[in-house]
Structure 1
Amino acid sequence: MLRIIYMLLGCFIVSVGILFLQNSEVITGGTAGLALSFSYLMNSSFAVVFFLINLPFYILSYFKMGWKFTASTIFAITSLSIMSEIVQFFPSFTIHPIFGSIIGGTIAGLGLSILFMNGSSLGGANILSLFLQQRFNWNPGKTMFAFDFLVILTGLYSVGLVRGFYSVLSIFVISYIISFFKVKIAARNVRPKTAVQPEPSAS
């Protein structure tokens, strides 16, 4: 029960971070960044686009991380989608992109760290980052930064070059926050070596 409360708290914190990003009209990395980019282009709901984009990643999560992690991820994604709609009822505000990217990135990074420490994620690169940490002990903040940077490059069309720069700043802040909690994240996600089976060779 306590874990569910922490997961809901993490989702709520991330949704607030996304709200700051939306109101500064910047994007971020991962599936959240893709959802923001498409929501700008199509003038549609972030929550709906975010939920749909993550559907293919449930399969990857099931085979790489197990059904418990996948169930937690589906719960987290659904919760974030709902909470992202709820926070839209907050008083509207505008914020300069540089402040929006820093504040939004900090808040979102904290929420993601809480989710990671409770064995869940928000799909996409989050799943791959946690898998690489468990398999090769790679820093999840740095691997997410690399993947998120690619997402930013593909999203420049929707936000432009200047706001694209601020978007890179947002993922740098998020990766820094996650890296700050990397020891706690690793400690909370210790799995037996047999839990992740090596992939078969091509031969």
Structure 2
Amino acid sequence: MKRIFAIVIGCLVTSIGVIFLKHSHVVTGGTAGLSLNLSYLTHFSFGTWFFLINIPFYIFSFVRMGWKFTLSTILAVTLLSIMTSLDHFLPSFTILSFPGAIAGGILIGFGLAYLFLNKASLGGANILALFCQKKWGWDPGKINFAFDVIVVLIGAYSVGLVSGLLSILSIAVTSYIISYFKHRIASSHDATVQTPPLQQSAS
């Protein structure tokens, strides 16, 4: 129950960050950024795109990270999709791009770090980052940043050059915060190392 509560808190903080970015017309990286880009270009909400895009990553997570991590990730993705969809009930407002990018990056960074510390993620690049940290000891913040920059560059045309640059600033802030907690994240995952399902069946 304590872990579920922690996942709810992590998703709540992250969802506020995503809403900040959306109302600043700034994108972020990973599957969240791709979902934001698609929400700008279509009539479907961020939450709908975010849930659908993550489905292939659930399979990878189950095979490489174990079923407990995968279930926590599915719970987190579902919660974030629901929480961000509540934005439709808020009155219309706009946030200046620069402070919105910084505030959104900070909130998403702390939200993701808290989820990582509680052995959950928000799918996509988060799963790959934690897998690479677990497998090779790579910095999850830097891995996320690399994926995020690619997504932001691809989607920059939907928000413009200035907002695209602010998007890179936002994900740099997010990545810095995640990197700050990298040793604690590694320790939390090493404390409950789980053998992936395929390895269990092979033994």
Say whether the 8 Å CA contact 2:50–2:81 is kept in structure 1.
yes
The 3-state SS of whatever aligns with 1:121 is coil
Q: Which residue of 1 aligns with 2:121?
A: 121
Query: Kindly tell me: are residues 87 and 131 of structure 1, through their superposed partners in 2, closer, same or farther at Cα, counting changes over 3 Å?
Result: same
Q: Which residue of 2 aligns with 1:101?
A: 101
Q: Which runs of 4+ in 1 moved over 6 A?
A: none
CA distance, structure 1, for counterparts of residue 105 and residue 139 of structure 2? 18
Cα-Cα RMSD: 1.8
In structure 1, runs of 5+ residues without a counterpart are none
The 3-state SS of whatever aligns with 2:123 is coil
Q: Which residue of 2 aligns with 1:92?
A: 92
Q: Which residue of 2 aligns with 1:73?
A: 73
Say whether the 8 Å CA contact 1:15–1:87 is kept in structure 2.
no
Matched, 1:26 2:26: yes
Q: Deviations over 1:78-125 (max 9, x none)?
A: 011011112443343211111111000100111001100010100000
The 3-state SS of whatever aligns with 2:190 is coil
The 3-state SS of whatever aligns with 1:36 is helix
Aligned-pair CA distance for 1:16: 0.2
In the superposition, the TM-score normalised over structure 1's length comes to: 0.92
Aligned-pair CA distance for 1:181: 1.2
CA distance, structure 2, for counterparts of residue 87 and residue 184 of structure 1? 32
Q: Which residue of 2 aligns with 1:166?
A: 166
The 3-state SS of whatever aligns with 1:100 is helix
Matched, 1:16 2:16: yes
Q: Percent identity?
A: 54
Q: Which residue of 1 aligns with 2:186?
A: 186
Q: Which residue of 2 aligns with 1:145?
A: 145
Q: Deviations over 1:143-166 (max 9, x none)?
A: 110111111111112112111101
In the superposition, the TM-score normalised over structure 2's length comes to: 0.92
